[in-house]
Amino acid sequence: METFETDRASTYQLEDVQQILQIAIARQVDREELSREQLLEIAEELSISADCLQAAEREWRDRQSTQQQQQAFNAYRRQRFYHKLGKSLILGGFFVAVDILSGGTLSWSRYLLLGCGLWVSLKAWNTFGLSGEAYDKAFRSWERQRQLTRSVGLLWNKVQRSLQG
Protein backbone atom coordinates (compact mmCIF):
# COMPACT_ATOMS: atom_id res chain seq x y z
CA MET A 1 0.00 0.00 0.00
CA GLU A 2 1.32 3.42 -0.94
CA THR A 3 1.93 5.88 1.86
CA PHE A 4 1.90 9.62 1.52
CA GLU A 5 2.69 12.60 3.66
CA THR A 6 0.40 15.50 4.29
CA ASP A 7 0.73 18.95 5.76
CA ARG A 8 -2.45 18.46 7.75
CA ALA A 9 -2.97 16.58 10.96
CA SER A 10 -4.05 12.94 10.84
CA THR A 11 -7.64 13.88 11.72
CA TYR A 12 -10.20 15.33 9.35
CA GLN A 13 -13.48 17.15 9.68
CA LEU A 14 -16.51 15.15 8.53
CA GLU A 15 -17.02 17.43 5.52
CA ASP A 16 -13.38 16.92 4.49
CA VAL A 17 -13.78 13.13 4.73
CA GLN A 18 -16.87 13.27 2.51
CA GLN A 19 -15.08 15.35 -0.11
CA ILE A 20 -11.96 13.15 -0.07
CA LEU A 21 -14.05 9.99 -0.43
CA GLN A 22 -16.12 11.49 -3.25
CA ILE A 23 -12.96 12.37 -5.15
CA ALA A 24 -11.41 8.94 -4.49
CA ILE A 25 -14.53 7.07 -5.61
CA ALA A 26 -14.82 9.22 -8.72
CA ARG A 27 -11.19 8.49 -9.63
CA GLN A 28 -11.34 4.78 -8.86
CA VAL A 29 -14.50 3.97 -10.77
CA ASP A 30 -14.15 4.19 -14.53
CA ARG A 31 -17.86 3.54 -15.10
CA GLU A 32 -20.55 6.07 -14.29
CA GLU A 33 -22.72 3.59 -12.41
CA LEU A 34 -22.28 1.35 -9.42
CA SER A 35 -24.47 -1.62 -8.63
CA ARG A 36 -26.39 -1.77 -5.37
CA GLU A 37 -24.08 -4.57 -4.28
CA GLN A 38 -21.06 -2.34 -4.84
CA LEU A 39 -22.77 0.41 -2.85
CA LEU A 40 -23.38 -2.05 -0.01
CA GLU A 41 -19.74 -3.19 -0.13
CA ILE A 42 -18.48 0.38 0.05
CA ALA A 43 -20.80 1.12 2.96
CA GLU A 44 -19.66 -2.04 4.74
CA GLU A 45 -16.00 -1.13 4.28
CA LEU A 46 -16.73 2.30 5.72
CA SER A 47 -18.59 0.70 8.66
CA ILE A 48 -21.88 2.27 7.62
CA SER A 49 -24.84 0.25 8.85
CA ALA A 50 -27.48 -1.04 6.46
CA ASP A 51 -30.13 1.05 8.26
CA CYS A 52 -28.06 4.19 7.87
CA LEU A 53 -27.50 3.42 4.19
CA GLN A 54 -31.23 2.84 3.64
CA ALA A 55 -32.05 6.15 5.33
CA ALA A 56 -29.47 7.88 3.15
CA GLU A 57 -30.96 6.28 0.03
CA ARG A 58 -34.46 7.46 1.02
CA GLU A 59 -33.16 10.98 1.62
CA TRP A 60 -31.35 10.89 -1.74
CA ARG A 61 -34.55 9.76 -3.52
CA ASP A 62 -36.52 12.53 -1.82
CA ARG A 63 -33.94 15.09 -2.94
CA GLN A 64 -34.02 13.71 -6.49
CA SER A 65 -37.81 13.94 -6.51
CA THR A 66 -37.71 17.51 -5.21
CA GLN A 67 -35.16 18.47 -7.85
CA GLN A 68 -37.36 17.00 -10.59
CA GLN A 69 -40.36 18.89 -9.24
CA GLN A 70 -38.34 22.12 -9.13
CA GLN A 71 -37.24 21.59 -12.73
CA ALA A 72 -40.89 21.15 -13.74
CA PHE A 73 -41.80 24.27 -11.74
CA ASN A 74 -39.04 26.29 -13.42
CA ALA A 75 -40.16 25.09 -16.87
CA TYR A 76 -43.76 26.03 -16.01
CA ARG A 77 -42.70 29.50 -14.87
CA ARG A 78 -40.60 30.09 -18.00
CA GLN A 79 -43.42 28.90 -20.25
CA ARG A 80 -45.92 31.16 -18.47
CA PHE A 81 -43.54 34.14 -18.73
CA TYR A 82 -42.91 33.63 -22.46
CA HIS A 83 -46.65 33.29 -23.06
CA LYS A 84 -47.28 36.60 -21.28
CA LEU A 85 -44.36 38.21 -23.12
CA GLY A 86 -45.82 37.12 -26.45
CA LYS A 87 -49.23 38.54 -25.55
CA SER A 88 -47.60 41.82 -24.47
CA LEU A 89 -45.64 42.08 -27.72
CA ILE A 90 -48.76 41.45 -29.79
CA LEU A 91 -50.77 43.99 -27.80
CA GLY A 92 -47.96 46.57 -27.93
CA GLY A 93 -47.56 46.03 -31.69
CA PHE A 94 -51.28 46.53 -32.16
CA PHE A 95 -51.26 49.82 -30.26
CA VAL A 96 -48.20 51.05 -32.14
CA ALA A 97 -49.85 50.18 -35.45
CA VAL A 98 -53.06 52.00 -34.48
CA ASP A 99 -51.06 55.02 -33.31
CA ILE A 100 -49.00 55.17 -36.52
CA LEU A 101 -52.06 54.67 -38.73
CA SER A 102 -54.03 57.35 -36.91
CA GLY A 103 -51.36 60.05 -36.70
CA GLY A 104 -48.32 58.96 -38.65
CA THR A 105 -45.99 58.96 -35.62
CA LEU A 106 -45.69 57.44 -32.19
CA SER A 107 -47.49 59.63 -29.71
CA TRP A 108 -49.71 58.08 -27.07
CA SER A 109 -48.64 54.46 -27.74
CA ARG A 110 -45.11 55.06 -26.44
CA TYR A 111 -46.56 55.54 -22.95
CA LEU A 112 -48.37 52.23 -23.26
CA LEU A 113 -45.13 50.64 -24.46
CA LEU A 114 -43.29 52.02 -21.43
CA GLY A 115 -45.95 50.62 -19.11
CA CYS A 116 -45.92 47.32 -20.94
CA GLY A 117 -42.11 47.19 -20.74
CA LEU A 118 -42.25 47.85 -17.01
CA TRP A 119 -44.85 45.12 -16.56
CA VAL A 120 -42.76 42.63 -18.58
CA SER A 121 -39.65 43.56 -16.57
CA LEU A 122 -41.47 42.91 -13.30
CA LYS A 123 -42.76 39.57 -14.59
CA ALA A 124 -39.23 38.64 -15.70
CA TRP A 125 -37.89 39.57 -12.25
CA ASN A 126 -40.53 37.42 -10.57
CA THR A 127 -39.87 34.52 -12.95
CA PHE A 128 -36.09 34.49 -13.16
CA GLY A 129 -35.01 36.53 -10.14
CA LEU A 130 -36.69 34.61 -7.34
CA SER A 131 -34.36 32.79 -5.00
CA GLY A 132 -34.19 31.70 -1.41
CA GLU A 133 -37.33 32.07 0.65
CA ALA A 134 -39.37 33.77 -2.10
CA TYR A 135 -38.60 30.91 -4.51
CA ASP A 136 -39.43 28.29 -1.88
CA LYS A 137 -42.74 30.01 -1.13
CA ALA A 138 -43.68 30.16 -4.83
CA PHE A 139 -42.63 26.52 -5.29
CA ARG A 140 -44.70 25.33 -2.31
CA SER A 141 -47.71 27.28 -3.58
CA TRP A 142 -47.34 25.77 -7.06
CA GLU A 143 -47.00 22.27 -5.60
CA ARG A 144 -50.12 22.72 -3.42
CA GLN A 145 -52.04 23.92 -6.48
CA ARG A 146 -50.88 20.86 -8.47
CA GLN A 147 -51.91 18.52 -5.66
CA LEU A 148 -55.31 20.20 -5.38
CA THR A 149 -55.83 19.94 -9.13
CA ARG A 150 -54.88 16.24 -9.04
CA SER A 151 -57.24 15.58 -6.11
CA VAL A 152 -60.14 17.38 -7.76
CA GLY A 153 -59.46 15.47 -10.99
CA LEU A 154 -59.44 12.13 -9.16
CA LEU A 155 -62.64 13.05 -7.32
CA TRP A 156 -64.30 14.10 -10.57
CA ASN A 157 -63.30 10.80 -12.20
CA LYS A 158 -64.78 8.84 -9.28
CA VAL A 159 -68.02 10.84 -9.48
CA GLN A 160 -68.26 10.21 -13.23
CA ARG A 161 -67.62 6.46 -12.78
CA SER A 162 -70.21 6.20 -10.03
CA LEU A 163 -72.78 8.01 -12.18
CA GLN A 164 -72.03 5.76 -15.15
CA GLY A 165 -71.99 2.52 -13.18
pLDDT tens by residue, 64-107 = 999 999 999 999 999 999 999 999 999 999 999 999 999 888 88
According to DSSP H, which parts of 29-131 are helical? 36-45, 50-103, 109-128
Looking at the fold, whether 109 and 139 belong to one and the same domain comes out as: no
For position 2, what pLDDT does the model report?
A: 46
How far is residue 97's CA from residue 116's CA, in Å, rounded to a whole number? 15
Residues 96 and 124 grouped into a single domain: yes
3 within a domain of the structure (yes/no): no
**4 lies in some domain:** no
d(CA 21, CA 35) in angstroms, rounded, equals 18
Residue 91 contacts residue 116 (beta carbons within 8 Å): yes
In this predicted model, what pLDDT tens digit does every residue of 105-143 receive, in sequence order?
Answer: 888 999 999 999 999 999 999 888 878 898 999 999 999
Boundary-marking domain end, from 20, 36, 65 = 65
Is residue 49 in a domain? yes
Residue-range definition of the domain harbouring residue 160: 133-165
Looking at the domain assignment, is residue 101 inside a domain?
A: yes
Q: Domain for residue 58, yes or no?
A: yes
22 lies in the same domain as 58: yes
Both 117 and 156 in one domain: the answer is: no
Looking at the fold, whether 60 and 88 belong to one and the same domain comes out as no
**Are 125 and 146 in the same domain?**
no
Domain tally, the chain: 3
